[in-house]
C-alpha cells in the first residue's frame, strides 16, 4: 500500500480550533484530522455539510 500527500490551506482560526481539539486528545493536528476522516460516520457528516452548503448557495 502506497502513501500520498494531502496539503491543505486553512485559515488561522480553524487551525487553532483543530490544535485545541487535538491537544485535548493528546494528538497532533495531522493525527486528529486523519482520525476524523476515518470515522465511520464521516461520509454521512460530509454529505450533510455539502447539502447544506449547496442550499446556502442556492445550488439545489
The answer as to whether 20 is a domain residue is yes
The answer as to whether 38 is a domain residue is yes
How many domains is the chain partitioned into structurally?
1
pLDDT digits (tens, 9 = 90+) for 19-41: 999 999 999 999 998 888 787 78
- 60 pLDDT tier (thresholds 50, 70, 90): low
The answer as to whether 7 is a domain residue is no
The answer as to whether 33 is a domain residue is yes
pLDDT digits (tens, 9 = 90+) for 41-55: 878 888 999 999 999
**Domain residue limits at 32:** 12-57
For residue 25, what are the contacts with CB-CB under 8 A and spacing of at least 6? Answer: 32
Please give the helix or strand (H or E) that residue 12 lies within, else none: helix 12-24
The answer as to whether 50 is a domain residue is yes
The answer as to whether 47 is a domain residue is yes
Burial of 29 (0-12, 13-18, 19+ CB in 10 A): middle
The answer as to whether 45 is a domain residue is yes
- Three cell numbers, residue 22: 487535538
Amino acid at each position: 500500500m502506497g502513501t500520498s500527500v494531502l496539503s491543505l490551506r486553512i485559515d488561522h482560526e480553524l487551525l487553532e480550533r483543530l490544535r485545541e481539539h487535538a491537544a485535548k486528545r493528546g494528538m497532533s493536528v495531522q493525527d486528529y484530522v486523519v482520525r476524523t476522516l476515518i470515522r465511520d460516520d464521516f461520509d454521512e457528516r460530509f454529505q450533510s455539510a455539502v447539502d447544506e452548503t449547496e442550499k446556502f448557495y442556492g445550488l439545489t
